[in-house]
Amino acid sequence: DARVTQTPRHKVTEMGQEVTMRCQPILGHNTVFWYRQTMMQGLELLAYFRNRAPLDDSGMPKDRFSAEMPDATLATLKIQPSEPRDSAVYFCASGLVLERMGNIQYFGAGTRLSVL
Amino acid sequence: SQELEQSPQSLIVQEGKNLTINCTSSKTLYGLYWYKQKYGEGLIFLMMLQKGGEEKSHEKITAKLDEKKQQSSLHITASQPSHAGIYLCGADTGRRALTFGSGTRLQVQP
């Protein structure tokens, strides 16, 4: 049963520490998305990659966030330094996005981040 | 203003009742996607609508797309406690990524 795997599921850290979240997309999918979900803002797109190349990271605070895809089986989202306002659930999603076809995204279970 | 408006924000229904959730976009739709989320879990894909007038059903859930009105509706017939959760609509407005509504929280009382 193919699924998107995210690690860790939960992370509690102190302000100023580096946080790394990992995502293993579904094999064969060409697009990976990072979202952040909070009660106030809902689900927000942070960045996404197509064939491992970053296409859009306009939703991401550039000074402290970075997203990479070192290979087709791993996407990472880093926050350095972390701040309390970064506390949220971070979701990774992957999909096979083709021209004139659908854009169905499959979500991981999320990483719940608490920055104290 | 929000690109995607969902209504209602929350809904409590008695088991067996029908209900409808609406999603309206302020931009042209190239695709409309419905997801369900349970607390502490990721989003589960329900249905994708791409063409005006398109209607899809899965078990007791039906979704429709009105392209002219830039609107979609999700209808649940004879609701069950298993339908409880948060329903989110996501829209592809040409960006090739989805913008999501704020969600509709559904409770089904036995």
* B58/A contact by beta carbon, under 8 A: no
Predicted pLDDT of residue B97? 81
Sort B6 into a burial class: Cβ within 10 Å, 0-12 / 13-18 / 19+.
buried
A-B contacts at Cβ under 8 angstroms: 51
**Residues in chain A closer than 8 A to B102 (CB atoms):** 42
Q: What is the DSSP letter of A80?
A: S
Is A102's CB within 8 Å of B97's CB?
no
Select the highest-mean-pLDDT range: A5-9, A61-65, B95-99. A5-9
**Residues in chain B closer than 8 A to A110 (CB atoms):** 41-42
Query: In which band, very low, low, confident or very high, does the pLDDT at B1 lie, cut at 50, 70 and 90?
Result: very low
pLDDT digits (tens, 9 = 90+) for A70-110: 999 999 999 999 999 999 999 999 998 776 677 899 999 99
Percent of chain B exceeding pLDDT 90 equals 71
Predicted pLDDT of residue A56? 86
Is B42's CB within 8 Å of A109's CB?
yes
Predicted pLDDT of residue A100? 66
- Token readout for B100 is 């999501």
Calculated CA dihedral for residues A107, B58, A2, A99, nearest 10 degrees: -70
Distance CA A80, CA B23 (A): 36
pLDDT digits (tens, 9 = 90+) for B47-85: 999 877 889 998 899 999 998 888 999 999 999 999 999
- For residues B110 and B15, is the Cβ–Cβ distance under 8 A? yes
Predicted pLDDT of residue A95? 92
* B17/A contact by beta carbon, under 8 A: no
pLDDT at B9 over 60: yes
Nearest-5° angle of CA A101, CA B26, CA B46?
A: 45
